[in-house]
Amino acid sequence: MNKPAKITIANLNIKLPPGFGRRADAIARGAARHLARLPIRTNVQLASLAVPKVSVQGGETDTVIARRIARAIHSQIKTSGRKGIRHAD
């Protein structure tokens, strides 16, 4: 039986609009939690990953923002895997 794929993030840099600074830690932790729940079928080792800009509205909860960020990261990981980026053993 294959081990499930694993995501390890050494550094997560999120730039938020003015006024969101105090929410950054909660949003980053939430993004990691949401990302852990999304399916990854293969191990991919990436030195860095650029995620397109994610829209954020003032009235949104940290959870909604975190989920959107996690989905953007997940999408880029899947795209990198399809492009034949070096896979981890």
Residue-number span of the structural domain to which 72 is assigned: 59-83
Average pLDDT for residues 24-48, to the nearest whole number? Answer: 85
pLDDT in tens, 41-78: 777 777 778 888 888 887 899 999 999 999 999 988 87
The top-scoring range by mean pLDDT among 1-10, 11-20, 60-69 is 60-69
Q: Mean pLDDT in the chain?
A: 80
Residue 2 forms part of a structural domain: no
Which run of H or of E encompasses 78?
A: helix 62-82
Its pTM stands at: 0.78
Number of independent structural domains in the chain: 1
Residue 27 forms part of a structural domain: no
CB atoms within 10 A of CB 66: 23
Q: Which residue has the tokens 């997940």?
A: 74
